[in-house]
Chain A
Amino acid sequence: MSASSASSRKTLSKIACNRLQKELAEWQVNPPAGFKHKVTDNLQRWVIEVNGAPGTLYADETYNLQVDFPEHYPMEAPQVIFVPPAPLHPHIYSNGHICLDILYDSWSPAMTVSSVCISILSMLSSSTVKQRPEDNDRYVKNCRNGRSPKETRWWFHDDKV
């Protein structure tokens, strides 16, 4: 469903291309623990396999993250979602959208795909219950037609998980 929104996006700027190539090279030498980049020839969309950390609620589970880069990456944040089925988590919606401040308001161009991945894994690891956000059904319904999570006005109220 988000395929259409991603394909309609403008192609990467030169700066964005250079930076992503460097990030990819760095990733290949030094990937974040628990993540595997699925090789494609598409620099603008990365698909990353996530393995739940041992000793957490998500141990032995595997999910896929889809990362789409905007034209002006890294000045603009990438769009990061779980490819459904998404992990059961109080901040992850069933359509794969993730409520995490660094993906939206608190994004900084000094962050990288790798640092975002680490934040997401840490969010998973600190969860104590496997459940959907309270407003899951309402939110998912509002997001039909492939709306991007970047169009959502997120309200980051919980810094524990």
Chain B
Amino acid sequence: MDSEDDMHDANDMESVDEDFYSDGDGYGGDAADSDADVADYDFMGNETDDSDEQAVSRTQKNYTVLKEEDIRQRQEEDMTTISTLLSISREAACILLRRYNWSVNKVHEEWFADEERVRKSAGLLEKPAVSLSRVIDVVCGICFENFLPDDITSVGCGHPFCSTCWKAYITTSINDGPGCLTLRCPDPSCDVAIGQDKIDKLTSGEDKKKYYRYLLRSYIEDSRKTKWCPAPGCDSAIEYDLGSGSYDVTCCCSFSFCWNCTEEAHRPVDCDTVSKWILKNSAESENMNWILANSKPCPKCKRPIEKNQGCMHMTCTPPCKFEFCWLCLGAWSDHGERTGGFYACNRYESAKQEGVYDESERRREMAKNSLERYTHYYERWATNQSSRQKAMADLHQMQTVHLEKLSEKQSQPESQLKFIIDSWQQIVECRRVLKWTYAYGYYLPEHEKAKRQFFEYVQGEAEAGLERLHQCAEKELQTYLNATGPSKDFNDFRTKLAGLTSVTRNYFENLVRALENGLADVDSQGACSKAPSSKNTTGSSKGKGGGRGKNSTKT
């Protein structure tokens, strides 16, 4: 562990940190973004809120999900527009649109600036060059056989080919890939484009389907404003309003991703940090895999324990029954409400370096610390990731199975149990945010003491809130699911869970806001050495009991 390599690693990391912070740390690097977004950070599951309509309409302005039918329809509409505007055929309109990456404006602009040049570059003839019908006997330019004029065609340029050769030419090109979309006359000296009409006439079955698939794809892939959803098996695309703030988009398949880098959604952390972190993880994965692969021993009885639930509150099996935190392996009684709500598990305490070390020992220690430090953040990042996966599965299970069962057991209509779905959606979203804040924390320079403290404070608050919420939704709910009949205290449970959902949402809104403005509040408060007070928590319902916000009154 304390080899030369580790020491290099320590050095590398330093330089990486510097690079990152030298070019500003706002999300997406665009100052205008952060202002506009802070107000409506849109967590899932707050549909019942009044402020929500705003958020939704904003989301719609920001991006649009395009299904296959939508894309086709848009292509058709664009072709109609161009063909009407320029008084040309639909086939010609299609050729032009492809030439200019499906930008109606660009076609329009270029055409009226210099029609001749556009025609030449796209391969569109103004009128057919020669008519073939006057000749008695024509030689096909590919097979060199003689044909009657009726059996031979050109794409308006007069280069004659028989239908067998046309068919083979087009089919070969389609099977070679998307290049078939820009197919030209086979004559090497001729640039005339081959339109859809020719394709329709000469292809069928798989080949035709392939061509139209390429045509559909070109609409998304050629434009800077559209991208395919990267989720496996999803064939929808996202159209994004460039320069419009938050990059997080959610496809209709419910996959959330960052439009800018197409990694999974990582707000409030910027794309650079994410790509650096992912690269770092792949480089370190050999070292790290054991953490995920191995179970941990119970800190008390030392029996191996495998984590099978989403929240970090672990209880060892009887007779031990020791309750501890999965992340720090400390007693759970040191966490959360019982000790005044202070949850310090997110904080990385670098090993104290007291006494005098000789130089080599000091460097060895540094290298070891750098790996330990990375391990700290990586484990929390990875655990929140798997915790989120579990929560997503639980949410699905809840929606498909448990809600109905619960409705039966507790004699409540399903509409009255929506607060449970809300809470699970909140958990999924919070796990995602929390996960990325660990990548953020890793790259936050150690010497920025005030910022670190503030960051760890808001992160810790959010994390503690989430743990309470996750535990309540995961474990306490079980009692009511397993009950034989309606439970008397079900309404109390409802109030508690809805309250926790709301409180947690507030904590995370604060966390997101703090990170998105680069922890700037620390500066405005001066170099305070204590964790900042509630400046950033205004608007949140402080304290545990006060969490019964708008949500609970509606249930």
> Which A residues lie at the B interface, using CB under 8 A?
15, 18-19, 22-23, 26, 72, 74-76, 102, 106, 108-111, 115
Contacts and interface: CB of A to CB of B under 8 A. Distances in A.
Contacts of A75: 168-169, 172
A19 B188 contact: no
A36 to B, nearest CB: 22
A106 B165 CA distance: 17
Contact of B172 (A22, A76, A111): A76
Interface in B142-187: 142-145, 159, 161, 164-165, 168-169, 172, 186-187
Nearest to B184: A108
Contact of A110 (B145, B172, B186): B186
B142 A74 contact: yes
A106 B145 CA distance: 24
List 10 tightest A-B contacts by C-beta distance, closest first.
A110-B186, A22-B144, A75-B172, A109-B142, A110-B141, A110-B187, A108-B186, A108-B188, A75-B168, A19-B143
B144 A108 contact: no
Max chain A C-beta neighbours (<10 A), residue from B159, B168, B188: B188
A113 B168 CA distance: 19
Nearest to B171: A75
Interface string B178-216: 000000001110000000000000000000000000000
Contacts of B142: 19, 74, 109-110
Nearest to A111: B188
A76 B159 CA distance: 20
Interface residues of B, number: 15
B143 A110 contact: no
Contacts of A15: 143, 164, 168
Contacts of B159: 110
A150 to B, nearest CB: 13
A19 B165 CA distance: 11
10 contacts: A22-B144, A22-B145, A75-B169, A102-B188, A106-B188, A109-B142, A110-B141, A110-B161, A110-B186, A111-B188
Interface string B117-148: 00000000000000000000000011111000
A75 B176 CA distance: 11
Contact of B188 (A18, A22, A26, A110): A110
A26 B144 CA distance: 10
Given A75-B172, A110-B159, A18 B186 contact: no
A88 B165 CA distance: 38
A70 to B, nearest CB: 11
Max chain A C-beta neighbours (<10 A), residue from B141, B144, B164, B187: B144
A23 B141 CA distance: 12
A71 to B, nearest CB: 12
A76 B141 CA distance: 15
Given A109-B142, A109-B165, A110-B141, A72 B172 contact: yes
Max chain A C-beta neighbours (<10 A), residue from B159, B164, B186: B186
Given A72-B172, A75-B168, A75-B169, A108 B143 contact: no
Contacts of A111: 188
A26 to B, nearest CB: 8
B463 to A, nearest CB: 50
A106 B188 CA distance: 9
Contacts of B187: 108, 110
A142 B141 CA distance: 37
Contact of B144 (A19, A72, A102, A115): A19
B170 to A, nearest CB: 10
Nearest to B141: A110
Nearest to B159: A110
Contacts of A72: 168, 172
B155 to A, nearest CB: 13
B64 to A, nearest CB: 37
Contacts of A26: 144
Contacts of B188: 102, 106, 108, 110-111, 115
B138 to A, nearest CB: 14
A108 B379 CA distance: 57
A27 B364 CA distance: 79
Contacts of B172: 72, 75-76
A75 B145 CA distance: 15
Given A74-B142, A109-B142, 5 more contacts: A18-B143, A75-B172, A108-B188, A110-B159, A110-B188
Nearest to A26: B144
B168 to A, nearest CB: 5
Contacts of A22: 143-145
Contacts of A110: 141-142, 159, 161, 186-188
Contacts of A102: 188
Contact of B145 (A18, A108, A115): A18
A15 B164 CA distance: 10
A13 to B, nearest CB: 10
A74 B186 CA distance: 11
B50 to A, nearest CB: 59
Contacts of A106: 188
A27 to B, nearest CB: 12
A74 B140 CA distance: 13
Nearest to B144: A22
Contacts of B144: 19, 22-23, 26
A110 B169 CA distance: 10
B172 to A, nearest CB: 5
B145 A109 contact: no
Contacts of A108: 186-188
Max chain B C-beta neighbours (<10 A), residue from A15, A23, A74, A109: A109
